[in-house]
């Protein structure tokens, strides 16, 4: 069964304190992505990765970083979080040429 895990599920932090949200997948899929979900805006793609060491910006990359040092992990890094990054974050994965995305359970982040 295709699985995506995220940690932590809930995080409350303060402005400027660096944080990392982890994402792992169990199927060796090449493609992974991070989204944020805000009321009335649906999901917006932050970054995506096509393979190890290959990443590219999505629609809303400002204030975020990612890394893909190994295929199974795709962490999202907020170097200096701000209150406008308070949101629900999802990690997803999919196979090349197969359009089925599998999403993680989400991380609810609050930045005060």
* Count of residues that interact with another protein, criterion CB under 8 A: 27
| Of the candidate residues 28, 62, 69, 100, the single one contacting another protein (CB under 8 A) | 100
Between the CA atoms of 68, 55, 104 and 109, what dihedral angle is there, to the nearest 10 degrees? Answer: 90
Token pair recorded at residue 27: 């199927």
Between the CA atoms of 66, 69, 73 and 77, what dihedral angle is there, to the nearest 10 degrees? Answer: -20
**Nearer Cβ to another protein, position 48 or 64?**
48
Cβ atoms of 105 and 57 within 8 Å: the answer is no
| Of the candidate residues 28, 62, 69, 99, the single one contacting another protein (CB under 8 A) | 99
> Is residue 62 reached through a cis peptide bond, with omega within 30 degrees of 0 on the bond before it?
no
Among positions 6-45, residues that touch another protein (CB under 8 A) are: 31, 33, 35, 40-45
47 binds another protein (CB under 8 A): no
Task: Enumerate binding residues for another protein (CB under 8 A).
Answer: 4, 31, 33, 35, 40-45, 48, 50, 56, 58-59, 90, 92, 96-97, 99-106
């Amino acid at each position: 069964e295709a699985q995506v895990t995220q940690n932590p599920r809930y995080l409350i932090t303060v402005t400027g304190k660096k944080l990392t949200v982890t994402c792992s997948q169990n199927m060796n899929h090449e493609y992974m992505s991070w989204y944020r979900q805000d009321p009335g805006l649906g999901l917006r793609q932050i970054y995506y990765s096509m393979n190890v060491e290959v990443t590219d910006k999505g629609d809303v990359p400002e204030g975020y970083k990612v890394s893909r040092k190994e295929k199974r992990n795709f962490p999202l890094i907020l170097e200096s979080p701000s209150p406008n990054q308070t949101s629900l974050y999802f990690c997803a994965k999919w196979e090349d040429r197969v359009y089925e995305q599998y999403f993680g359970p989400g991380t609810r982040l609050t930045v005060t």
